[in-house]
Amino acid sequence: MNSEDVKEGHGGALPSPDLVWENATTPTAARFGDVYYSRDGGLAQSRHVFLAGNDLPNGWQNKETFCVAELGFGTGLNFLATWELWRRTRAPGSRLHYVAAEGFPLTGAELGACLAPWQEMRPRGEALIAVYPEPQRGFHRVFPALAPHERGEVTLTLLYGDAAEMLTQLEAEVDAWFLDGFAPDKNPQMWSPAIFTQMARLSRSGASAATYSVAGDVRRGLDAAGFEVMRAPGFGGKLEMLRARFRGSAARPSALQPWFARAPRAGARGHAAILGAGLAGAHTAAALARHGWTSTIIDRHDAVAGEASGSPRAVMAPRLTAAPAHDGRFYAAGWRFMLDDLARNESRVGRETGGSLQLGMEGGAERLAEIAAAGPLPPGFLMPVDAEQASDIAGVRLTRGGLFFPQGGWIEPHTLCAALAGPSDKRFGTAVVSLVRNGLRWRVQDAAGATIVDADAVVFANALGMKRFTDAAWLPLEGLRGQVTLTATTPTAEALRAALLYGGFVTPAHRGVHAVGATFDAVATDTTNVEVSVEDHPRNFAGLADVAPGLLAPASVIGGFAAVRCMSPDHLPLVGPLPDRGDYVKDFAELRHGHPWARYPNARYQQGLYVLTGLGARGVVSAPLAAELLASHITGAPWPLERDLVNALHPARFLVRELKRRAI
Ligand code: SAM
């Protein structure tokens, strides 16, 4: 096998390992000709080689977070054994981050069969299979849990793709490594110098490693990367195994762009002040809570979703691309993450799941067909349909086909915001006017100079409102006024079952009312109250008449909603630490000369200040994963997304582009 095998395609499906059973008891991968776990007992081997070999549970005593990285995930047995031991012995309130690379994922059903011999692991195995992702290339962050209140205690980040390549895309502070590739002679890619170099980059000082293999190349490779290697008694028929400890220091690799360097975390635990109670702020509060932080959400309005997130309906559909572009990949990952996230909030959110149809407009049908062929989402998440099939799905006559998202539909963003923000402390009807440094913390103050809250981190999730703060005012954000029209249903329109997107959108009737949207008009200011304009309603029906002739007409309008959305110049959100603009301009003044990257210092940020904004009209899809990424920046958890996507969302990206073009 060649590791090129796992580098194919845009988000496309990864190859199977070709599972076969040896003597009906031991799972093996025909592709590699090797076993997944020891013939002498898989669980006992996990415990001896990987848990005891990494001195666990001692390693995580008194630690608020602990990060295990495994190469490769296989049947998930090592993961289950680690989770089970951690749950029994962890420090109260702590978090386990488990990162695992896997290039040839087993299916959920195969996982079930491989884990069947261990009855005691059954509930955990089922909890794993319930969140186990489709074999789609890229990072997948999931939260296996035995009970809903445990969700977030354990984060599992599966890096689907070639291990060496996936590790270059990762940022994490690894405490313990499980080296569990197939035997080095059968699977050399899993034991290559490239892997050992990445291990050194990602290791916390003093990190441990363990493996069943004592091959000379493995010993020498670990040693060369800065690990002190020791032999230890092996498991079952094996005389010896290896244990190792990282003695090196993680030098900054020259292949990483210093202007996007990872910011120091604000803390494994802490309290955040979140400015803004829309989708950005509410999702940030929920993500931080999963990671063990508390938050105060502050908003100038008297309730959640006072601005663009207050739209009565949002249609749920990802914005995909045929080529593996950053936006298409981010929205595909965001879509999978959102579906998992919504499943947990289901009962508390106004939502209808009749699916969403993205209809091809003039010239756009070909592009939609290309997207479906490129496979950015697993089968079952996306179906190409012609006009007839689309009409059958929608229940009304449509003139065009396109893409059908069976898990889509519409949602009420404000009930989602309320559900997410529920457990957090909230200060509504309060405008934050200044942020004052207070040692390592920030004092958040109102117009009278009174303290609203002291916080370890402040998150700007207040759209154009952040323009009022000098430290953030330079971020390039545009205001786009949007109006949604509410219209009474008709005997024809009542039959509509799926939400339609065609440039604009229309939702199926709910209590006799459809939402038809939305206008896009650039505005310059950050305004609190946006009036509905009667003249704008007819504009919302123009595109609809083309795809669904006679479905709805402006005559039945009963009301509307208007607000200003916040958009970045490349239409991707801004997510991450707030850059110190002055330092960037000084440190990267020479960028346009194309000097070697190693000449530049690492980027400097406003310690403890973070941004999540620019969600535009797709916040329902992008905010959950964006918030999980932001929480990972704040708490030092492993990144849930590949580096190139994290960089594509980085708040400094426009500044860097500007510096590359000309001196500022
Ligand atoms: N730790 C696993 C468990 O608990 O079941 C068993 C791992 S099995 C011995 C080795 C794993 O490495 C297989 O799942 C295999 O697909 C994966 N693998 C092999 N080559 C790889 C590569 N180049 N990149 C990523 N994963 C790879």
**Strands of 26-29's sheet in order across:** 19-22, 26-29, 34-35
Q: How far apart, in whole angstroms, are the C-alpha atoms of residue 256 and residue 236?
A: 42
pLDDT for 348 equals 73
Is residue 658 one of the residues assigned to a domain?
no
Q: Are residues 227 and 372 in the same domain?
A: no
Helices (H), 37-76: 42-45
Residues 339 and 393 in one domain: yes
- In the reported structure, the alpha carbon of residue 72 is separated from the centroid of ligand 1 by a whole-number distance in angstroms of 4
- Please give the pLDDT value at position 8: 42
The string of DSSP codes covering 354-402 is S-EEEE--TTTHHHHHHHHHH-SS-TTS-EEE-HHHHHHHHTS--S--E
Say if residue 153 is in the same domain as residue 172: yes
Residue 263 within any structural domain of the chain: yes
Task: For residue 178, give the ligand 1 atom closest to its CA.
Answer: 1
Average pLDDT, the chain: 93
Distance 31 CA to ligand 1 centre (A): 11
Residue 628 Cα to ligand 1 midpoint, Å, equals 27
Query: Could you tell me if residue 22 is inside a domain?
Result: no
CA distance 609 to 614: 17
262 and 212 fall within a common domain: no
Domain containing 610 — which CATH number? Answer: 3.50.50.60
Residues 271, 125, single domain; the answer is no
74 within ligand 1 shell (Cβ under 6 A): yes
Q: Which two tokens stand for residue 198?
A: 């990445």
Q: Whose CA is nearest to atom 23 of ligand 1?
A: 162
- What pLDDT is attached to residue 366? 82
What number does the ligand 1 atom closest to the CA of 31 have? 16
Question: Do residues 393 and 422 share a domain?
Answer: no
Q: Which atom of ligand 1 is nearest to the CA of 70?
A: 1
- From 246, 272, 296, give the residue that closes a domain: 246
What is the spatial distance between Cα 55 and Cα 656, in angstroms, rounded to a whole number? Answer: 44
d(CA 397, CA 387): 8
The Å distance, Cα 107 to ligand 1 centre, comes to 14
How far is Cα 257 from Cα 600, in angstroms, rounded to an integer? Answer: 9
Residue 640 resides in a domain: no
Rounded to the nearest angstrom, the distance between the alpha carbon of 191 and the centre of ligand 1 is: 11
Q: The pTM is what? A: 0.96
Range of the domain at 63: 40-246
The answer to whether residues 435 and 582 belong to one domain is: yes
Q: Is residue 251 in a domain? A: no
Q: Pick from 650, 628, 624: which is nearest to 639 by CA? A: 628
Is 242 a member of any domain? yes
- CB of 37 shorter than 6 A to ligand 1: yes
Token pair for 301: 């309005």
Together in a domain, 159 and 237: yes
Q: Residue 60 belongs to a domain with what CATH number? A: 3.40.50.150
Beta bridge partners of 351: 411
Domain boundary pick from 203, 218, 246: 246
Nearest to 157 by CA among 148, 174, 482: 174
Same domain, 158 and 292: no
Q: Are both 338 and 239 inside the same structural domain?
A: no
3-state secondary structure of 515: strand
Residue ranges in the chain whose pLDDT is less than 70: 1-11, 250-254, 347, 363, 525-528, 663
340 lines ligand 1 (CB under 6 A): no
User: What's the gap in Å between 104 CA and the centre of ligand 1?
Assistant: 7
Distance CA 332, CA 372 (A): 12
Separation of alpha carbons 87 and 110, rounded Å? 25
- Same domain assignment for residues 487 and 470: no
Domain count, the chain: 3
Mutating to test ligand 1, I would choose from 82, 190, 195 the residue with most ligand atoms within 8 A of its C-beta, which is: 190
- Span 218-265, pLDDT tens digits: 999 999 999 999 999 999 989 999 999 999 876 656 678 999 999 999
Distance CA(502)–CA(624), nearest Å, equals 24
Is the shortest distance between the CB of 104 and ligand 1 below 6 Å? yes
Residue 514 dihedral angles phi and psi, to the nearest 5°: -105, 150
Residue of 445, 186, 422, 210 lying closest to 303 (CA atoms): 422
State pLDDT tens for residues 385-395: 999 999 999 99
CA atoms within 13 A on the CB side of 165: 15
State residue 624's pLDDT score.
97
Same domain, 405 and 496: yes
Rounded to an integer, what distance in angstroms lies between the CA atom of residue 164 and that of residue 190?
7
The residues with which 347 forms a beta bridge, in sequence order, are none
Q: CA of 307: how far to CAs of 465, 466, 641, in Å?
A: 11, 14, 28
Domain contains 153: yes
Domain termination residue (choose one: 567, 582, 610): 567
Residue 117: inside a domain: yes
Query: Whose CA is closest to atom 21 on ligand 1?
Result: 103
Ligand 1 and 3: CB distance under 6 A: yes
Q: What is the pLDDT of residue 373?
A: 87
